[in-house]
């Protein structure tokens, strides 16, 4: 990633790679250094993963005996329109939330990184959405998007637009959920970018200034290229967590005492993949199919992450 | 629909309850249940009266160390985890009413309460409620805690102004069928423009189904959600929409609350426990409300059970505790503590339950809820009801909220049900 | 660069944007604070209360009567604190290797790590419960700490961060000076990745602090639980939950988090006007 720097002739990485024959023994300390994670996975992660694979080949109500089902759960998964529509919902909500979020986070980080006063205050405030009680969040966003008294509709009317029944239309529901997610995670990502901005040496900005570059040029010529690893991180993490989201639609849409928590609102417009997993597992008592759904989710997440990784990662890296 | 900002809150609290899945069986070298003198009881906040639990602890103190544990989060998932994992299982476990049907096929995880002499107490409990704790093969899994009889909550002055019956007895008598209820809705709207009888049509559908003796799947594991009883409930809900007696508001939003407060949503069909929701939600409406019988007959929402798990080492003692805690006198106390509506009719006459309520203009609401609770029909609840009822409820919601064509919605619901039924091994 | 006037008006615009963001971010939090000063029925009444009420102390008292607040907070501190320390060490060490060294199998191992990262978290609980029950850790904090001691998220993060922050010349120079791997990690890598570690530390602590899905299942002794598990015992069924108390509990539980954030965030931007050039 040292593109903007003068590249040293032999990097540490290359010098090590130059001697491929040296093998495992020579690198034992490197393996030892990365081993804790893999050991913990072997000890505590492998059994659950293996078990859920096994489970997905069975029918099970959670308590009674398991019944062998072969691949029928997966066969059903492929033709289950409800699962496919939940994939669609998830991706739409994810896209509606993620791109504005990354943009806003980047802007916030750059603004905060410039010499601004009261930096501590802002930083603190932007952290709050991440820790605010989900109960308060549920009520406030329910209010913000309500039809007659909601803040959003008040704003729309102020600029001469019509009211929208946000929580009563499929698109409105998705937009509302995405807004909630953006609100909650922008500050978090801004902090990531802020940490990344600290790795950019001040001299580079100095040099650019001397060359007469304006702030916008500086951003695109220096900041953005050097922030690429951070951007990759944010995008991949947003993909993995965003595609597995479920609490936001739950919080926003489950509002009647007797209704399933996992329905995702009218027309299932807000039913994400993980909500669908919960519904199959706990409402329908279909633990076997739930496991198959979970593996379906895994596959979607992997595919999407690879696509995003490719998009950001430069060729040959 | 039911007033429920509280529901929204509950969703918030449960929001991040990412839950468990899986389970390995057999051969654990760990204590499956409690040890020593301990008797562990699992319930949830508000699941039992606190006074009663406290008294039970001192009362049985010389025999056992009763440890009543409140479980937070998603209760059922935690219970299933420990049952499936066969470790740290409580001796006595609360079972939520909506989950009951799904525990019954696995009745062998619990002690059959008949073997402990439950039958001799049967006459003291509501028959339909008693029946709901019994598995198909007759084993008794759950001992009745509370129930939730449904009533018609309405605002006295608004009904009076609209020229409708307004005294509870008259409302009960004159709006006793859905047809009369809907006609009243039309009159309400005509006399007081902008006023609607109900928030949306979902409650009409659900109450109607609950008033019947059949649900979505029968004892033979056969799908009956396409039957006349469901179709009738469906048509009735569509009718409510067609006659424009429902609002376009979303329940739980400020829109709905303000409408309730200013009297433009003066009525709702709701369970006994909604009393608390209304008192807290719109305190300024104090004195304006009354309750009457629900049109179309009584029905029930919610209510739970206590069970004894197979891991319990002293089932007789556990049974003694359960029956004491859930006796008529203590159920009356449970109503005072936590609004748990007793499943023991003997409680209804007790003075604690017959206080005139100023929020309801001094009405003794037990006069409505008590008789309703006795007349709730016995319906078979299948473990597949949830899975096969949901598509129908979802589609009626789409009709009500999104304005979907009812014919198409019914067709979609049925094809979805058939697909799910096939997958779950339920015959169509 | 620009005239004094220009830069001042730009400064005002900058603050206007930041203040707008601040209000948006902080309002729900403010409202949560307000809720904690009201009774349950005040919280539910319509229209919502926007000013503080008089019941905060009463809510606090009820809260302390209902749960062992400080005892469970101590457990939370133990869990979140030790996990954070372990994660910071193990993750940054592994990340250093992935970011700056080449060795056979690196690509495969990293791909595996990312795949594990993508496994839905919902798969895990019951078999994990069984495993833990066999080891005998159920009911103890060990069941929460050990499995969380290293994670893919943190390794991925530190790897990305180290790629930009640790310059290869530094490593080359230290090797020429005869520094071994651990010395390079300790003396060269760690000092320059403090902002990255601060981020990881804050959010690991926060994640552990707020986690309750697994603790709820793993901690079977009601007298020995973490704070979130204790708080979750307060929310019940219809009509009985004291939301004023619940909100108060949620709010008081945040205090340590805010302290950790305040300390950690200072590491992210040294206030020594690093980016003072404009």
Please report, in tens digits, the pLDDT of each residue of chain B (428 residues total): 344 444 444 444 433 333 333 233 333 345 676 766 889 999 998 899 999 999 999 999 988 999 999 888 888 888 998 998 888 899 999 999 989 999 999 999 999 999 999 999 999 999 999 999 999 999 999 999 999 999 999 999 999 999 999 999 999 999 999 999 999 999 999 999 999 999 989 989 999 999 999 999 999 999 999 999 999 999 999 999 999 999 988 777 778 888 999 999 999 999 998 888 888 778 889 999 999 999 999 999 989 999 999 999 999 999 999 999 999 999 999 998 888 999 999 999 999 999 999 999 999 999 999 999 999 999 999 999 999 999 999 999 999 988 899 999 999 999 999 999 999 999 99
The fourth-level CATH superfamily of domain B5-147+302-349 is: Periplasmic binding protein-like II (3.40.190.10)
Mean per-residue pLDDT of chain A: 85
Residue A5 binned pLDDT confidence (cut-offs 50, 70, 90): very low
Q: In this structure, what token pair is assigned to residue A185?
A: 């995670």
CA distance B269 to B380: 23
Question: Model confidence over B331-355: pLDDT tens digits?
Answer: 999 998 888 999 999 999 999 999 9
Across chain A, how many H-helices and E-strands are there? Answer: 17, 2
Across the interface, of A48, A254, A279, the residue whose CB is closest to B22 is: A48
Picking from C127, C121, C270, the residue whose alpha carbon sits closest to that of residue C207 is C121
CB C29 within 8 A of CB A137: no
Residues 6+ apart with CB under 8 A from B251: A255, A256, B1, B2, B3, B4, B199, B200
Residue A173 binned pLDDT confidence (cut-offs 50, 70, 90): very high
Q: What's the rounded mean pLDDT across residues C189-211?
A: 93
User: What is the maximum alpha-carbon separation in chain C?
Assistant: 72
Picking from B417, B89, B90, the residue whose alpha carbon sits closest to that of residue B231 is B417
Residue B284's alpha-carbon distances to B196, B288, C47, in angstroms, are 20, 9, 11
Across the interface, of B14, B24, B279, the residue whose CB is closest to C41 is: B279
The reply to whether omega before A265 is within 30° of 0 (cis) is: no
CA B173 and chain centroid, separation: 25
- Residue C105, chain B, CB below 8 Å: the answer is no
Question: Model confidence over B165-175: pLDDT tens digits?
Answer: 999 999 999 99
For helices B385-397 and B228-242, the axis angle rounded to 10 degrees is 20
| Sole residue written with tokens 């994660």 | C87
Chain A contact set for C173 (CB, 8 A): none
| Sole residue written with tokens 């994939």 | A87
Determine whether the interchain pair A150/B302 forms a contact, defined as Cβ–Cβ distance below 8 Å: no
pTM: 0.88
User: What is the maximum alpha-carbon separation in chain B?
Assistant: 72
- Residue B258, chain C, CB below 8 Å: the answer is yes
Chain C contact set for B45 (CB, 8 A): 233-237, 240-241
List all chains that touch chain B, counting a touch as 3 or more CB pairs closer than 8 Å: A, C
Cα torsion for A74, A75, A79, A84, to the nearest 10°? 10
CA distance C164 to C166: 6
Domain boundaries, chain A: 73-316
Backbone angles phi, psi at B294, to 5 degrees: -80, 135
Q: In this structure, what token pair is assigned to residue A77?
A: 């998964």
> How many angstroms away from the CA of A175 is the closest CA of chain B?
16
Determine whether the interchain pair B22/A294 forms a contact, defined as Cβ–Cβ distance below 8 Å: no
Residue B155's alpha-carbon distances to B49, B191, B267, B291, in angstroms, are 30, 15, 6, 9
- Which one-letter DSSP state was computed for residue B384? T
Picking from A239, A228, A242, the residue whose alpha carbon sits closest to that of residue A304 is A239
Picking from C253, C73, C169, the residue whose alpha carbon sits closest to that of residue A13 is C169
Determine the residue among B65, B66, B70, B338 to mutate to test chain C binding: the one whose Cβ has the most chain C Cβ atoms within 10 Å: B70
Across the interface, of B8, B103, B109, the residue whose CB is closest to A255 is: B8
Res C102: pLDDT = 93
Inter-residue long-range contacts of B407-411, CB under 8 Å, 24+ positions, other chains counted: B410/B231, B410/B234
Which residues does residue B42 pair with via DSSP β-bridges, in sequence order? Answer: B69, B93
Res C130: pLDDT = 86
CB C196 within 8 A of CB A197: no
Residue A316 binned pLDDT confidence (cut-offs 50, 70, 90): very low
Which residues does residue B40 pair with via DSSP β-bridges, in sequence order? Answer: B67
Determine whether the interchain pair C235/B20 forms a contact, defined as Cβ–Cβ distance below 8 Å: no
CA distance B274 to B280: 10
Picking from B164, B146, B191, the residue whose alpha carbon sits closest to that of residue B292 is B164
Picking from B75, B108, B95, the residue whose alpha carbon sits closest to that of residue B311 is B108
- Residue B407, chain A, CB below 8 Å: the answer is no
Res A3: pLDDT = 37
Res C46: pLDDT = 64
CB B226 within 8 A of CB B417: yes
Cα angle A124-A126-A127, degrees, rounded to a multiple of 5 = 65
The helix or strand, by DSSP H or E, that contains position B306, with its residue range, turns out to be: strand B305-308
- Residue B12, chain C, CB below 8 Å: the answer is no
Across chain B, how many H-helices and E-strands are there? Answer: 17, 10
Where b means 16+ CB within 10 Å and e means fewer, A64-103 reads: eebeebeebbbebbeebebbebbbebbbbbbebbbeebbe
CA distance A305 to B10: 33
- Residue C44, chain B, CB below 8 Å: the answer is yes
Residues 6+ apart with CB under 8 A from B16: A134, A247, C210, C212, C213
Chain C contact set for B81 (CB, 8 A): 125-126, 129, 217
The helix or strand, by DSSP H or E, that contains position A303, with its residue range, turns out to be: helix A287-312
- Which one-letter DSSP state was computed for residue B16? T
Picking from B332, B52, B327, B291, the residue whose alpha carbon sits closest to that of residue B149 is B291
Res B12: pLDDT = 40
> How many angstroms away from the CA of B232 is the closest CA of chain C?
30
Residue C233 binned pLDDT confidence (cut-offs 50, 70, 90): confident
Same CATH fold assignment for domains B5-147+302-349 and B150-300+379-424: yes
Across the interface, of A13, A199, A298, the residue whose CB is closest to C164 is: A199
DSSP states of B179-224: HHHHHHHHHHHHHSTT--SBS-SHHHHHHHHHTSS--SB-TTSBB-
CB B92 within 8 A of CB B298: no
Cα angle A63-A65-A68, degrees, rounded to a multiple of 5 = 125
Strand B146-147 versus strand B341-342 pairing type: antiparallel
Chain B contact set for C48 (CB, 8 A): 254
Across the interface, of B383, B401, B425, the residue whose CB is closest to A168 is: B401
pLDDT above 90: residue A19:
no
Q: Calculate Rg over the CA atoms of chain B.
A: 22
Q: In this structure, what token pair is assigned to residue A315?
A: 């060729």
Picking from B206, B338, B191, the residue whose alpha carbon sits closest to that of residue B264 is B191
CA distance B124 to B346: 7
Q: Calculate Rg over the CA atoms of chain C.
A: 23
- Residue C217, chain B, CB below 8 Å: the answer is yes
Backbone angles phi, psi at A102, to 5 degrees: -65, -40
Determine whether the interchain pair C171/A12 forms a contact, defined as Cβ–Cβ distance below 8 Å: yes
**% of chain C exceeding 90 in pLDDT:** 52
Determine whether the interchain pair C45/B6 forms a contact, defined as Cβ–Cβ distance below 8 Å: no
If you classify domain A73-316 with CATH, what class do you get? Answer: mainly alpha
Question: Model confidence over A237-279: pLDDT tens digits?
Answer: 999 999 999 888 887 876 544 456 788 888 889 999 999 999 8
Distance linking the first and last C-alpha atoms of chain B: 31
- Residue C120, chain B, CB below 8 Å: the answer is no
Across the interface, of C27, C104, C130, the residue whose CB is closest to A23 is: C104
CB B223 within 8 A of CB B216: yes
Question: Model confidence over B352-369: pLDDT tens digits?
Answer: 999 999 999 999 999 999
Which chain A residue has its CA at the smallest distance from B22's CA? A52
The CATH fold assigned to B150-300+379-424 is: D-Maltodextrin-Binding Protein; domain 2 (3.40.190)
Chain B contact set for C143 (CB, 8 A): none
Determine whether the interchain pair B282/C241 forms a contact, defined as Cβ–Cβ distance below 8 Å: no
Q: In this structure, what token pair is assigned to residue A34?
A: 């990365």
Determine whether the interchain pair C181/A33 forms a contact, defined as Cβ–Cβ distance below 8 Å: yes
> How many angstroms away from the CA of C47 is the closest CA of chain A?
10
CA distance C78 to C119: 27
CB B38 within 8 A of CB B64: yes
Which residues does residue B198 pair with via DSSP β-bridges, in sequence order? Answer: B246
Determine whether the interchain pair B106/A64 forms a contact, defined as Cβ–Cβ distance below 8 Å: yes
Determine whether the interchain pair C134/B71 forms a contact, defined as Cβ–Cβ distance below 8 Å: no
Which residues does residue B363 pair with via DSSP β-bridges, in sequence order? Answer: B357
At residue A157, the 3 state secondary structure works out as helix
Question: Model confidence over C92-128: pLDDT tens digits?
Answer: 999 999 999 999 999 999 999 999 999 988 776 778 8
Residue C271 binned pLDDT confidence (cut-offs 50, 70, 90): very low
**% of chain C exceeding 70 in pLDDT:** 90
Measured from the Cβ of residue A314, the count of other Cβ atoms closer than 10 Å reads 11
Domain boundaries, chain B: 5-147+302-349, 150-300+379-424
Picking from C272, C190, C170, C275, the residue whose alpha carbon sits closest to that of residue A204 is C275
Cα torsion for B262, B264, B269, B270, to the nearest 10°? -20
Mean per-residue pLDDT of chain C: 87
Determine whether the interchain pair C258/A126 forms a contact, defined as Cβ–Cβ distance below 8 Å: no
Supply the ipTM of this predicted assembly.
0.88
Which chain B residue has its CA at the smallest distance from C246's CA? B13
Chain A contact set for C238 (CB, 8 A): 257
> How many angstroms away from the CA of B357 is the closest CA of chain A?
24
CA distance A173 to A94: 13
Determine whether the interchain pair A51/C127 forms a contact, defined as Cβ–Cβ distance below 8 Å: yes
CA B335 and chain centroid, separation: 15
Between A and C, how many CB-CB pairs are < 8 A?
Answer: 266
**For C194-242, where are the alpha helices, taking DSSP H only?**
194-210, 213-218, 227-232
- How many C-alpha atoms does B105 have within 13 Å on its Cβ side? 16
Determine the residue among B7, B22, B74 to mutate to test chain A binding: the one whose Cβ has the most chain A Cβ atoms within 10 Å: B22
Determine whether the interchain pair C25/A47 forms a contact, defined as Cβ–Cβ distance below 8 Å: no
| Sole residue written with tokens 């006994």 | B272
Residue B215's alpha-carbon distances to A262, B307, B388, B406, in angstroms, are 21, 25, 10, 20
Q: What's the rounded mean pLDDT across residues C166-180?
A: 90
Which residues does residue B70 pair with via DSSP β-bridges, in sequence order? Answer: B43
Res A314: pLDDT = 64
Measured from the Cβ of residue B173, the count of other Cβ atoms closer than 10 Å reads 13
């Amino acid at each position: 990633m040292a593109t903007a720097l003068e590249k040293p002739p032999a990097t540490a990485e290359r010098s090590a790679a130059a001697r491929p024959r040296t093998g495992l023994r020579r690198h034992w300390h490197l393996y030892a250094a990365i081993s804790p994670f893999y050991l913990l996975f072997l000890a505590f992660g492998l059994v659950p993963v293996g078990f859920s694979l096994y489970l997905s080949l069975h029918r099970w109500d959670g308590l009674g005996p398991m019944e062998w089902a072969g691949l029928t759960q997966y066969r059903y998964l492929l033709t289950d329109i409800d699962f496919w529509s939940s994939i669609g919902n998830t991706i739409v909500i994810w896209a509606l939330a993620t791109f504005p979020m990354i943009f806003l986070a980047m802007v916030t980080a750059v603004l905060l990184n410039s010499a601004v006063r009261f930096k501590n205050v802002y930083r603190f405030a932007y952290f709050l959405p991440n820790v605010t009680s989900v109960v308060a969040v549920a009520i406030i966003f329910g209010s913000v998007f309500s039809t007659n008294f909601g803040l959003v509709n008040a704003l729309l009317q102020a600029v001469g637009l019509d009211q929208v029944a946000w929580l009563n239309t499929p698109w409105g529901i998705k937009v509302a959920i995405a807004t909630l997610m953006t609100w909650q995670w922008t500050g978090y990502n801004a902090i990531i970018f802020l940490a990344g901005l600290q790795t950019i040496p001040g001299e580079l900005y100095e040099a650019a200034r001397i060359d007469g570059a304006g702030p916008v040029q500086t951003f695109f010529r220096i900041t953005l290229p050097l922030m690429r690893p951070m951007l990759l991180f944010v995008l991949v993490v947003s993909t993995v967590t965003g595609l597995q989201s479920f609490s936001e639609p739950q919080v926003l849409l489950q509002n009647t005492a007797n209704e399933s928590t996992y329905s995702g609102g009218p027309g299932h417009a807000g039913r994400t993949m993980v909500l669908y997993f919960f519904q199959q597992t706990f409402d329908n008592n279909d633990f076997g199919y739930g496991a198959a759904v979970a593996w379906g989710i895994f596959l979607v997440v992997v595919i999407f992450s690879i696509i995003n990784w490719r998009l950001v990662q430069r060729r040959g890296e | 629909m039911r007033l429920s900002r509280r529901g929204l809150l509950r969703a918030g609290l449960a929001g991040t309850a990412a839950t468990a899945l899986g389970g390995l069986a057999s051969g654990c070298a760990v204590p499956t249940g409690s040890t020593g003198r301990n008797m562990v009881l699992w319930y949830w906040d508000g699941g039992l009266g606190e006074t009663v639990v406290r008294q039970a602890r001192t009362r049985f103190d010389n025999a056992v160390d009763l440890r009543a544990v409140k479980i937070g989060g998603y209760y059922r998932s935690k219970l299933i985890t420990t049952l499936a994992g066969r470790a740290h299982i409580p001796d006595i476990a609360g079972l939520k009413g909506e989950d009951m049907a799904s525990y019954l096929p696995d009745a062998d995880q619990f002690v059959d309460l008949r073997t402990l002499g439950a039958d001799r107490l049967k006459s003291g409990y509501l028959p339909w409620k008693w029946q709901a704790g019994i598995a198909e093969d007759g084993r008794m899994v759950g001992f009745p805690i509370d129930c939730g009889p449904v009533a018609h909550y309405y605002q006295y002055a608004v009904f009076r102004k609209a020229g409708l019956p307004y005294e509870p007895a008259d409302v009960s008598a004159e709006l006793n069928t859905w047809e009369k209820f809907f006609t009243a809705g039309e009159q309400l709207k005509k006399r007081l423009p902008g006023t609607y009888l109900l928030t949306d049509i979902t409650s009409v559908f659900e109450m109607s189904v609950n008033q019947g003796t059949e649900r979505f799947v029968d004892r033979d594991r056969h799908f009956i959600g396409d039957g006349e009883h469901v179709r009738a409930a469906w048509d009735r809900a569509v009718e409510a929409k067609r006659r424009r007696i429902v609002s376009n508001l979303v329940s739980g939003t400020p829109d709905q609350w303000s409408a309730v407060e200013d009297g433009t949503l003066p009525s709702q069909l709701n369970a006994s426990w909604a009393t608390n929701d209304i008192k807290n939600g719109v305190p300024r409406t104090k004195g304006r409300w009354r309750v009457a019988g629900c049109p179309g007959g009584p029905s029930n929402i919610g209510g739970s059970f206590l069970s004894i798990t197979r891991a319990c080492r002293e089932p007789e003692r556990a049974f003694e505790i359960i029956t004491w805690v859930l006796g008529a006198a203590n159920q009356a106390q449970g109503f005072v503590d936590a609004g748990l509506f007793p499943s023991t009719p003997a409680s209804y006459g007790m003075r604690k339950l017959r206080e005139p309520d100023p929020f309801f203009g001094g009405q003794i609401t037990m006069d409505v809820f008590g008789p309703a609770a006795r007349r709730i029909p016995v319906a078979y609840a299948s473990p597949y009801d949830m899975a096969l009822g949901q598509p129908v409820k979802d589609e009626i919601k789409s009709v009500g909220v999104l304005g979907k064509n009812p014919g198409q919605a019914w067709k979609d619901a049925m094809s979805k049900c058939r697909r799910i039924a096939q997958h779950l091994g339920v015959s169509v | 660069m620009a005239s004094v006037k220009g830069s001042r008006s730009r400064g005002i615009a900058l603050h206007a944007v930041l203040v707008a963001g601040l209000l948006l971010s902080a309002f729900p939090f403010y409202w949560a604070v307000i809720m904690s000063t009201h009774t349950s029925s005040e919280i539910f009444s319509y229209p919502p209360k926007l000013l503080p009420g008089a019941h905060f102390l009463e809510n606090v008292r009820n809260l302390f009567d209902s749960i062992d607040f400080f005892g469970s907070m101590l457990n939370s501190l133990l869990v979140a604190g030790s996990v954070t320390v372990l994660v910071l060490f193990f993750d940054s060490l592994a990340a250093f290797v992935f970011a700056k060294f080449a060795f056979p199998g690196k690509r495969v191992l990293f791909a595996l790590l990312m795949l594990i990262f993508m496994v839905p978290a919902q798969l895990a609980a019951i078999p994990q419960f069984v495993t833990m029950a066999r080891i005998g850790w159920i009911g103890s904090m060990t069941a929460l700490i050990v499995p969380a001691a290293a994670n893919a998220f943190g390794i991925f993060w530190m790897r990305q961060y180290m790629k930009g922050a640790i310059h290869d010349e530094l490593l080359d120079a230290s090797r020429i000076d005869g520094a071994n791997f651990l010395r390079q990690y300790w003396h060269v890598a760690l000092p320059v990745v403090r902002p990255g570690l601060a981020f990881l530390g804050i959010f690991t602590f926060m994640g552990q602090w707020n986690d309750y899905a697994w603790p709820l299942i793993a901690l079977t002794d009601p007298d020995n639980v973490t704070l979130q598990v204790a708080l979750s015992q307060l929310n019940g069924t219809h009509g009985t939950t004291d939301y004023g108390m619940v909100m108060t509990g949620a709010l008081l539980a945040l205090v340590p988090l805010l302290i950790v954030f305040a300390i950690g965030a200072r590491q992210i931007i040294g206030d020594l006007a690093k980016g003072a050039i404009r």
